Chain A
Amino acid sequence: METLILPASLDSLAVIRKHVQTAASDAGLEKKDSYRLLLAVDEVATNIITHGYLETGIDGRLEVRAEVDGEHLTIALGDSGPAFDPTQVSEPDVNQPVEDRKVGGMGLYLAIRNVDQFKYQRVGDQNRNIFIMNRKHMHSGGSG
């Protein structure tokens, strides 16, 4: 699958989700797993766009690449905004009543917990966020 390159703007989010959905369907992911994956990618992409670009005023691009092998579907989300590691953000307290909660934190919490594996890499001046979902194989049933 080719690499999708998009402007780092909120309008790109729907396009990214569609791209990930297609990759998930092609990889044979179940509906629930597809949704978890696209939510995760969407949340991290949102963060990149909002904090890496909109707030800093830089014009930027996002790259989305899907790779499939026998066991996994991997989505790599790349950008050249300021270094930001989503795994270092503190989690919200989801047991706390809403009325007492501080704003924020839910997006990355949903992202990282939703996929089978998540990795962040800083490569040169690029952030790379990697989302990995296990492909579940349907085995032909019966003991014969």
Chain B
Amino acid sequence: MAFNVRFEMLDKGIARITLAGELDAGTAPLFQKEVEKATAENAKRLVLVVSELEYIASAGLRVLVFAKQKMGRQVDVYVVGAQEQVMDTIRKTGLHNSVISVKSYDPAVIENI
């Protein structure tokens, strides 16, 4: 599947980025651009919807690290619906300790600040 990324600003300062396809060094700059929109908006929470993300390389993880470092410890980063192989990679690099991973999109949890 070709890479696709979509940015939305929800109420209460929640930034939601939906990723699909393959996130590698070629497509990571597109993800980076959307994260920068979230930081420009001073988002209070970052929600990454990744149920259709088939592949993630370290270039994609680097954007995630950038997001965490730029937004600060106060801002939670949710990873929603990660496929097994994607979650595996996140775990192997220790990044699972820095994000909140949930299986499905429950607005009561995710959009509740």
A131 to chain B, nearest CB (A): 15
Taking a contact as CB atoms under 8 Å apart, the answer to whether B95 and A107 are in contact is: no
B7 to chain A, nearest CB (A): 21
Residues of B69-105 at the interface with A, using a CB-CB cut-off of 8 Å, are 69, 72-73, 85, 89, 92-95, 97-98
Interface residue? A92 (CB, 8 A): yes
Interface size on A, residues (CB 8 A): 30
Taking a contact as CB atoms under 8 Å apart, the answer to whether A94 and B85 are in contact is: no
On chain B, the residues within 8 Å of A92 by CB distance are 93
Residues of A33-69 at the interface with B, using a CB-CB cut-off of 8 Å, are 35, 39, 42-43, 46, 49-50
**Contacts A106-B93, A110-B89, A110-B92 given; does A98 touch B98 at CB 8 Å:** yes
Taking a contact as CB atoms under 8 Å apart, the answer to whether A101 and B65 are in contact is: yes
- Alpha-carbon separation in the docked complex, A14 to B65 (Å): 23
Taking a contact as CB atoms under 8 Å apart, the answer to whether B65 and A43 are in contact is: no
Main secondary structure of the interface of A (DSSP, over half): helix
Taking a contact as CB atoms under 8 Å apart, the answer to whether A94 and B93 are in contact is: yes
Q: Which residue of B lies closest to A95 (CB)?
A: B94
Taking a contact as CB atoms under 8 Å apart, the answer to whether B98 and A97 are in contact is: yes
Q: Which residue of A lies closest to B21 (CB)?
A: A14
Interface residue? B26 (CB, 8 A): yes
Q: Identify which of A35, A93, A97, A113 contacts B97 (C-beta below 8 A).
A: A97
Interface residue? B20 (CB, 8 A): no
Interface residues of B (CB under 8 A from A): 22, 24-26, 55, 57-59, 61-62, 65, 68-69, 72-73, 85, 89, 92-95, 97-98
A-B contact pairs, 16 of them (CB 8 A): A17-B24, A39-B55, A39-B57, A42-B57, A43-B57, A43-B58, A46-B25, A46-B58, A50-B25, A98-B98, A99-B73, A103-B62, A107-B57, A107-B58, A110-B57, A110-B93
Q: Contacts A46-B58, A106-B61 given; 5 further ones with Cβ under 8 A?
A: A17-B22, A32-B85, A35-B55, A99-B69, A109-B93
